[in-house]
Structures are given as structure tokens and as C-alpha cells.
Structure 1
């Protein structure tokens, strides 16, 4: 690169203005004042630094400015406490609360009943009271159940397949459709009469596991597995698809609910009954079983 040339017009103008400003400051005495101020500031800074060094050597910290004194205001109390203090006798409201024993006052305590006839009598009374309470609770429950069942019975049998009335208390959840509905079966004491101790005859029950996996409503049993509720009810050895697969009695016969298919890393089938019947299969389970066989072989 070549050497730089002379000053530009801008630099020449800048230098001229700087010279004018310095001359003006000298004429007004500003440069002298600025020097005095800088000397004073440097002297104060050096003095504070020396003081801090001396404090560090002596082992004491520099004293801070004292805090302004606090103004004490009267203690605020609620009107309720003020009224209680005014109404109480002298000496009772002031000071901490103490027990009667510590204050020197005598107290009388009731003696506990001795073991014998008195304790037996008290125990019998307690048992009678508990029995009466249980009977009252049972009566109230029966009244509530009967009232609810009476209102819902008009629509309960509208749909025999999956039921038409949802009931979170009496209804039993189907493993496939996840509907907790009253069954539409005639003669079901649980759904028809509201007896919680009776089973629902409109839901299946696996003879092996007796778990929620084996609970299916009439419609899901027919559509998903091609079985009839009346025949299953007569068969006391009926097993759910989970137990059939576990025991190996029917190969590739699996539970085709969306929950169980996702656990197997299989996509749920959705409403596949129409495709299954078009292809000649009795149910979705038969269609799925054939697909699994083809995939295995």
C-alpha cells in the first residue's frame, strides 16, 4: 500500500476548531478550574484508599452511616381483642395463658369407668348406636337406589346390545367400548332392581381370571368376537381372549381392544366389522386372526 497523503479538509477543520476551543477555555479560565477539580478528586480518592487499607490491616471494618432511629407507633389490635381485654378482670388478659394447674388452681377430673359391668354396659350402648346408624345408612341407600332405578327403568331396555342408560354406580364398564351402562337384559337384578351385590347378566365374566379384561357387553361380544351372550352365559367355562391366548387353546386369538392392540404395537382396527363381513369373516377377531397368521407364515 502507498503512503498516506496530507491532511484532508475535514481534519484541517477539526484541528482548527479544537485550537479555537482550547483558546476560548484558556481565556475563560476553565482549564485552570478543571485542573483544580481533578487534583481535589484524586486527593480524596487516595485518602479513601489509604483509609480502607488501614482498616484492613487493623482488622476492623469501616464504620457505616448510622441508621435513622425508628419511630415507635402504638401496637394495632383488633376491636374484638380490645373489647375482650376491657371486659376481662384485671390481671387475666395480661401475660401468657397458663393452665389451671400451673396457676395453682385445683381441677376435678371425672374418673374413668372401671373394667366390669359399667364398661360392658358402655360397650353395648356403643354397639347399639353403631348398628342403628348402619341401618339408617342402608335404608337411605336403598331409597336412593330404588328412586334412581325407577326413573331409569323406562329407558333401560331401549338398547339390548350396549344399554341405553349410563349409571356410574350400578353400571359395569365394558373392556372394549368403555361404557358403564345398565344392561338391557330382562331379569337382571343388578341393573333392574338396583342390587349391587348381584352380578350383571348383560356382561360377560371370565371363568379363569374374573378380571376387567373379561367384561364385555352383548354388542361388543358379538361384533368383536362373534359370540352370543346367551350361549356364553350358559357356558360356565367361558374364557376371555387374554386367558385363551395365555393358555394357548386358540392360536392368534387375541384381544382386539384399542388398549391391548396399542400395547402390542399394533394400530387399532376401529369400526372394522363391515370390512370383516364383506370379506366373509364372522367378526373382527376372525379377520385379525387371519391377518396375524399370514404375517407369521
Structure 2
């Protein structure tokens, strides 16, 4: 009996509080504002958007250059980080075999781009991998995959954008002339223990892929992440510090010794 009475007291208090709150909201005009907002949103939802039929017959269909049997031509208007001016109809010419560090870009019409003084200054601020990224004229390093203009002061390709000259800050394999043999100064030194000046002086320089194929250096492999994954080997990451602490000249020398020891253990 006591529980029933307590419940009735609670319900009566609750109803009285509800009525008090409703009266307060009514005095403030909140309910009226809510009803006006609801009427506005309902009228906006009821309105329908006009539908316009598009006539596609008046515009020509776009076809890819591959289906047309034409070479891939892209019209570029580049002016940004690299400070390049207007370019038009840049195309690749695969008819003549060229070094990988001198890919051909033929400009049919318009003026070839020029680097701004600021871009020229920043380009030579770092010789390792270059400090100026350029998606048009930059040549991608096989290891770090940075498409940058090199930081060599005497490079006419990266400094003057002369497409008839090779990039002297990137290597080129004398055998394959492929992108696998394109390495920047920093990656060449850290990952393979070679200097770019020695490579430029050696006209018979071979990339790690061709060295492995020829068998001139046993256990000498390319240690880029792409090539290691193809061998089902985990990429080394930044292994140069560990390699030098252990007395190795580069990461490639460290891996070569590891592979040689593993082969002996297996044998």
C-alpha cells in the first residue's frame, strides 16, 4: 500500500513539472518558432527540381589515342613548383633507343619551358637526390622513386631543360638502358657503394640487374624494394647505418655477404 502511494505521488509531481515546463516554453514562444521551422522545411521538401534532358548527339564522343592508332600526346600547361612556362604537345618517341637518363620529350609547337631563378637556385642546393621535384622533366630514380631534377651544376638537361642531353646526376646502364639502371647520386652511394663520377667515367658501367645476369659479381643483387619483393625478400628499409656499423661499404655489400653465408649454410 505504501509503494502504491509513493508511485502516485511521483506521477503527480512529474505531471505538474511537465505542465510547468510547457507553460514556460509557451511564454518564451519556442513552440511557435518550432512549428514555423517545420512548415518551412516541409515546403522546401515538397518542391521538385526541374529535369533537363541533355542532348549528347551535338557533342563528339571522346576516343582514346590508343583506339585511334595515334601516339600518346598530352597538352600541358605547367607553371608551379618547378617554375616552368607554357608547353604544348609533348610526346614520347620510342623509335630510337636512347639512354635511360636521357628520355626524349619532343615539343612540336610552342616554347620549351625554362626554370625560374628561384627554381635554379633550389635545384643546386642538394646534390644527393636533388631538391626540386618536377613531374614533367624529372627522371625517376629506380630506388628512391623520386622524380626530381638533379642537383649537378653542370647538368644541361636539368638546368637548361635541354632534352638532347643526358642527366649527369642519374646513371644509365650500358647494357639494358632501362629504368632499372637509373639511380641518383645518393642511392648509388648509399645502396651500392659507387660514386656518380666513377660511373660517368666508365662507359661500360652495368646496373645491378645486368651484373647479376652476367654473373660477374656473385650474390650481387639490386636491393630496391621492388626487386627484393620479387625475390620474396623483405625490403631492408634504412639499412645503411647497420651496414656501416658492421663494416660494410653499402647495403648491397651487406646483403651480398648475407646471401653468401646463407648459401654456405644451406650447402
Higher RCO (CA 8 Å, separation ≥ 6 residues):
2
Is 1:240 paired with 2:207?
yes
SS in structure 2 at match of 1:238: coil
Q: In the aligned structure 2, how far is the partner of 1:150 from the partner of 1:182?
A: 15
Pick closer, same or farther for the CA change 1:149–1:212 going to 2, 3 Å: farther
* Distance of 1:211 and 1:200 partners within structure 2: 14
Sort the Cα spacing of 1:287 and 1:229 in 2 relative to 1 into closer, same or farther, 3 A.
same
2:237 alignment partner in structure 1:
270
Corresponding residue of 1:141: 111
Q: Quick one: structure 1 residues 226 and 245, their matched pair in 2 at CA, closer, same or farther if it must change by over 3 Å? A: same
1:211 to 174, 178, 199: 178
Aligned to 1:56: none
Instruction: Tell me whether 1:287 sits opposite 2:254 in the alignment.
Output: yes
String of CA shifts for 1:52-73, please: whole Å, max 9, x gaps.
xxxxxxxxxxxxxxxxxxxxxx
Number of equivalent positions: 161
- Counterpart for residue 261 of structure 1: 228
Shift, 1:141, TM fit: 2.8
- TM-score normalised by structure 2 residue count: 0.58
Deviations 1:196-253 (A, max 9, x none): 2221000000000000000000000000000000011000000000000000000000
Tell whether 2:199 aligns with 1:225: no
2:149 is aligned with 1:182? yes
Q: How big is the shift at 1:258?
A: 0.4
Q: Deviations over 1:81-125 (max 9, x none)?
A: xxxxxxxxxxxxxxxxxxxxxxxxxxxxxxxxxxxxxxxxxxxxx
C-alpha distance in 2 between matches for 1:152 and 1:182: 10
More helix by share: 1
After superposition, the C-alpha distances for 1:132-170 in whole angstroms (9 at most, x for unaligned) are x99xx756332xx11x35441020011101000001111
**Aligned CA-pair RMSD:** 1.9
Q: Name the larger-Rg structure.
A: 1
Structure 2: any 5+ residue segments left out of the alignment?
1-51, 53-87, 90-106
Q: Distance in 2 between matches of 1:224 and 1:279?
A: 15
Specify every segment of 5 or more residues in structure 1 that has no aligned partner in the other structure, as ranges.
Answer: 1-77, 79-132
- 1:229-281 alpha-carbon deviations (Å, 9 max, x no partner): 00110000000000000000000000000000000000000000000000000
TM-score normalized by structure 1?
0.52
